[in-house]
Amino acid sequence: MAPMGIRLSPLGMAVFCLLGLGVLYHLYSGFLAGRFAFFMLSEPGGGGAETPRGSAPGGTVDLRELLAVSVLAAVRGGEEVKRVREGNVLNAKAKGKTREGAEEQLTSGDLLSNRRMFYLLKGAFPAVQINSEERVDTADEETVSWDRSIPEEIKQKIQPKEVPAESVTVWIDPLDATQEYTEDLRQYVTTMVCAAVNGKPVIGVIHKPFSAYTAWAMVDGGSNVKARSSYNEKTPRIIVSRSHAGKVKQVARQTFGNKTVIIPAGGAGYKVLALLDVDEKNQEEADVYIHVTYIKKWDICAGNAVLRALGGHMTTLSGEEISYTGSDGNEGGLIASINMNHKALIEKLPDLEKTSHK
């Protein structure tokens, strides 16, 4: 007999057991469903937190997104460049000599701009190779996030285009024209980002920190800058490095005539902008850009991409295309033009190619 005089029939016991099993089944199935949902959400593509494109080997990169973050990186780096210069806390020091024996300067502006630009790009596209002029010190690592927003101007002009992440190489110049920066020749200073796909430059961003002007372009996409339409091929205005003006002047005037104008200037970014229709009062205008010695690829990649996007050319002095993979230097000098007969220009300058390897 059961306690309290209650008699439990076999049928009642069976019903009680079935109800208990039902409750246990309900609880346990809910637990399993929760675990399954957690598993699915934590898997890539399962609807969980978005994984940045290009974050794993074999991933893809949307070039429109890369252009957007490249523009932001150039601007953010430019803010550091401007802040250091206006605060007059350059802390300039020599970091070595060029092949020509000139001292290369390094400032706080270079380093702070480089850190901001590198980590912004690396955070957005972790799997993409990034080459920068300045060394990245892991002790100074910082988290610089991108909210993945794309400016309306880029949305309107550029369509999404995905490429394999392993095909992309990004080149950063955190402060172009450092020598001029130390001399307070601010008009020559730029920050630049370039993206090459399989060695060919396809995205170029050139930003002028002290006027907040930014030129950007994507090959087979669009741009926010145009080429100038008026040129004189017979007596072109040739823009060159300040230190090379004398060397180029003699050969150029022998080739094009005594009326040829030589424009000495600082910074590869500034020189490329001189070939374009730029609404800047401190920007000179030129028809051809020539460099007669070894030059680093982060100096020229962005300008090369912008020119290509607008139908222009940047080659070595012998007419070879410049590949933006492998070593960080270009041995063959360069000649850049737009809306001109580039091949004819190269043929007129045979003597300059010999000097580019010195």
Catalytically active residues are 110, 178
Which residues 6+ apart lie within 8 Å of 292 measured at CB?
A: 240, 244, 247, 248, 317, 333, 352, 355, 356
Residue 8 annotated as part of some ligand binding site: no
In the numeric block, the tokens 């020119």 are attached to 307
Q: What does the H/E/C string look like for 305-324?
A: HHHHHCCCEEECCCCCECCC
* Closest-CA residue to 121 (of 69, 56, 84): 69
Residue 328 annotated as part of some ligand binding site: no
Alpha-carbon distance 180 to 251, whole Å? 26
Max Cα-Cα span within the chain: 126
Residue 176 annotated as part of some ligand binding site: yes
CB atoms within 10 A of CB 88: 7
Residue 173 annotated as part of some ligand binding site: yes
Residue 310 annotated as part of some ligand binding site: no
* Closest-CA residue to 70 (of 167, 195, 220, 190): 195
In the numeric block, the tokens 């003006």 are attached to 245
* Closest-CA residue to 330 (of 300, 289, 290): 300
**Binding site, annotated residues for Mg(2+):** 133, 173, 175-176, 299
**Binding site, annotated residues:** 133, 173, 175-176, 299
